[in-house]
Amino acid sequence: MQVAPQKTSQQTYRTLFWLFLALITIFRLLLADKFGLGVDESHYLLYSRHLAWGYFDHPPMVAFLAALTTLFGESVFWVRLGPILCSTASLILLRYLVLTLYQDERLAFGSAVLLQMMPYQHLLMVALLPDATLNLFWCGTLLAVWKAIKTGKWSMWILSGLLFGGTLLSKYHGVLLAGCLLGYFITSGNHRFWLQKLQPYIAALIGLAVFMPNILWNSSHDWISYSYQLGQSSGDGVSPTKFLLAIAGQFGVWSPLIFGLLIAAIIVLVRQKKISDADRFIVWTSIPIFIFFCLAGVTGKILPHWTSAGWWTGSIALSLVISGKRSRPNTSAKRWRRWSVAAALTGLVMSTLLYVVLFWPIVAPVYNWARDISVILNRKFPVVEPLKPYETGYDLSNELFGWEQIADGVEAIRTQMPRPEKTFVFCHRFHTTSQLAVYLTPGTAATSLYHKASQYRFWFSAEKHAGWDALFVVDQKRHRKRALRYLPLFAKMDPEPVKIQIFRDDQLSHDLAVYKYYGFKGEYENLN
C-alpha cells in the first residue's frame, strides 16, 4: 500500500518537532547550572521564601514555580528547572494550537524553530522570570479559547477562564490577552455572535475569580503593585526618542531580520482579500502586543522583552508566509524563503554571541584592544584622544558569577561583629541585596535601606531591628558618599571599610566595600 506524499510529509515534520524539542530541552537542562543567577532571578527566588498572593512588582506565579522546584534544593539547576519545563510545555501547546488552527505539522515545526532563532528567547526559556509561566498560560488560554469557539463546549470555556486567571497571576500585562481576544471577536464575522452568548463572560468571571487573591492582597497593601506598574508606563512625558528606542529594542532582542519579517508577514496576512478566521486569530493575538508596548514606550519605561507573549502566535504568522501558504507562488515565495534563511542565520549568530557573553568576560578584552589602538593612533594623530583605562564591572556576565564568594566574605565579617546574631546586612538598592541574600546564611536578615519603595519594605521590619548593628555592602566606586548617606540611621559607623575583591580568570570582577554600623535607630522612611 502506497502512503500519500502529504501524509508522509506530515509524519516527517511531526518526528522533527519532537526530536527538536527533546534536543533543545536537553541542551537547556545541561546549560542550566553553568552560570549563576541573574539579579532578577535571585529576586524572584527570594519571593519563594516569602510566599504571598502578590509582591511589589509582580503577581505570585513565579514565586509558586520557584517554591515547587526548590523543594529539592536551591541549587541553580533546581531554580531553573521550572522555567525550562514551562518553555518545553509552551512549545508543545504551540504545536497543538497550530494543528488546531491549520492541521499542519510543518507549520508547527517551523514556528517552534523560529522561536529558537531569537536571541532573547534563549534567556526567557531558561531564566527564572515571570515570562516562563506567562507564556505557558498564554498559549494554553489561546488553545482553549479556539477550541471553545469551534466546539461551543462549556468545558472549554471554563478551562479558558481558569487558564486566563493563571495568565493574570503570572504577569499583569496578561490582561492584554483579553483585549486581543475582544478585538478578534469584534472583527470576526463568523464568531462575533459569541459576544451575545453567556460563555465568554462566564470564562472572564472565572479568570477574575482566579486572580481575585492578588486583588485582595493589593487592596491590603495600598495597591502597591498596580500603582508601580502604572507608574512604569506613565513615565515623565511624551518622548519620540523613547518611542524610537522601544522599536529599536524589538529589533535588538528578537533579531533585526526576524522582527522585520514579522512586520512584513502581518502586512501580507491583513492585506488578503478574504482573511481566514485562523489568520485573523493569530494577527489579533500577536501584533497588538507589539503596538501597545511600543506606544507605551512614548511616555514610560518599557523593556524590550515585555512583548515576548506576542511572539507565540507571531511565529505562526511568520511561518505561514515563509512556507508560501500566504505568499504568491514562484517569485514571492522564493524571496520569502531567502530572507528567512538570512534571518535564521542572523538570529543564530546573535544567540551564539549571547552565550559567549554569558560565559566569557569579553567586554574588557575588547575594550583594552580598542584602547591600544587609540593609543597607537594618538601617536601619529594627536587629535585622536586615547580611551581611558578599563574599569572593572563593565562585563555584564560578571553579575552572574562570584556572589557565593562575596556572601562568604560578608558572613566572615559579620561573625567578627560584637553581636553577630543581631547584625543585619543591607545594600543601596535591591539588585545587590537580592544577589547577596540568596547566598547568605539562612536566617541572616538582608535588606535595602534605599528610600524608594521596594519589595524589601514588606520583608524587613525597621522597628523590630531597632538597636541592631549592620553591614553595608557597596561598590567601591561610590562607597564613601553612600556610606555617609546612611550614617544618620545609626548611632555610629567605622570610618574605614573592609574590602572584598573577587577575581574571575585573573581579572578583577567585583570590587566591594563593607562598612560596619552600630545602633540602628529603627526607621529609614525619611532618608533622602
pLDDT in tens, the chain (528 residues): 444 556 678 899 999 999 999 999 999 999 888 888 888 999 999 999 999 999 988 999 999 999 999 998 889 999 999 999 999 999 999 999 999 999 999 999 999 998 988 888 888 889 999 999 999 999 999 999 999 999 999 999 999 999 999 999 999 999 999 999 999 999 999 999 999 999 999 999 999 999 999 999 999 998 998 888 877 666 566 667 777 878 888 887 888 888 888 888 888 888 888 899 999 999 999 999 999 988 887 877 788 889 999 999 999 998 888 887 776 555 566 777 777 788 778 877 877 777 777 766 665 666 676 777 877 777 777 766 777 765 554 566 778 888 999 999 999 999 999 999 999 999 987 778 999 999 998 889 999 887 677 888 889 888 999 999 999 999 877 788 889 989 999 999 999 999 999 887 777 888 899 999 999 998 876 665
To the nearest 10 degrees (0 to 180), the angle between helices 277-284 and 176-187 is: 150
Task: Look at residue 527 in the predicted model and tell me its pLDDT.
Answer: 63
The predicted pLDDT at position 103 comes to 93
Nearest to 100 by CA among 156, 154, 144: 144
Residue 360 carries which DSSP code?
S
Query: CA–CA separation, 211 vs 309, rounded Å?
Result: 19
How far apart are the C-alpha atoms of 479 and 427, rounded to whole Å?
11
What is the CA angle 149-284-301, rounded to 5? 135
State the cell numbers at 373: 589602538
**What's the mean per-residue pLDDT of the chain?**
87
Instruction: Please choose, from the candidates 179, 359, 214, 367, the residue with its C-alpha nearest in 3D space to the C-alpha of residue 286.
Output: 179
Q: Are 240 and 298 in contact (CB under 8 A)?
A: yes
**Cα 279 from Cα 61, distance rounded (Å):** 31
Q: How many helices (H) and strands (E) does the chain have?
A: 22, 6
pLDDT value at position 233? 61
pTM of the model: 0.87
pLDDT at 5: 56
pLDDT tens digits for range 35-64: 888 889 999 999 999 999 999 889 999 999
The C-alpha cell that represents 37 in the structure block: 543567577
Q: Which residues of 365-387 are buried (b: 16+ CB within 10 A; e: fewer)?
A: eebeeeeeeeeeeeeeeeeeeee
Among 438, 457, 439, 132, CA closest to 447: 457
DSSP-assigned letters across all residues of 131-180: HHHHHHHHHHHHHHHHHHHHH--HHHHHHHHHHHHHHHHH-GGGGHHHHH
Q: What does residue 517 show for φ and ψ, rounded to 5 degrees?
A: -120, 155
Could you say which DSSP state residue 388 is in? Answer: P
Give the pLDDT confidence score for residue 520 in this predicted structure: 95
Residues 6+ apart with CB under 8 A from 501: 508, 510, 511, 512
Q: What's the rounded Cα separation, in Å, for the pair 448 and 458?
A: 11
Whole-angstrom distance, CA of residue 436 vs CA of residue 429: 11
The alpha carbon of 128 is separated from its chain's Cα centroid by a whole number of angstroms, namely 8
Burial of 433 (0-12, 13-18, 19+ CB in 10 A): buried
The rounded distance, in Å, linking the Cα atoms of 288 and 427 is 39
Beta strands in 168-273 (DSSP E): none
Helix, strand, coil % in the chain, rounded to nearest 5: 65, 10, 25
Distance in angstroms (rounded) separating the CA atoms of residues 303 and 310: 14
The string of pLDDT tens digits covering residues 184-193 is 999 999 999 9
Residue 489 dihedral angles phi and psi, to the nearest 5°:
-80, -10
Residue 188 to residues 276, 280, 281: CA-CA distances in angstroms? 9, 8, 9
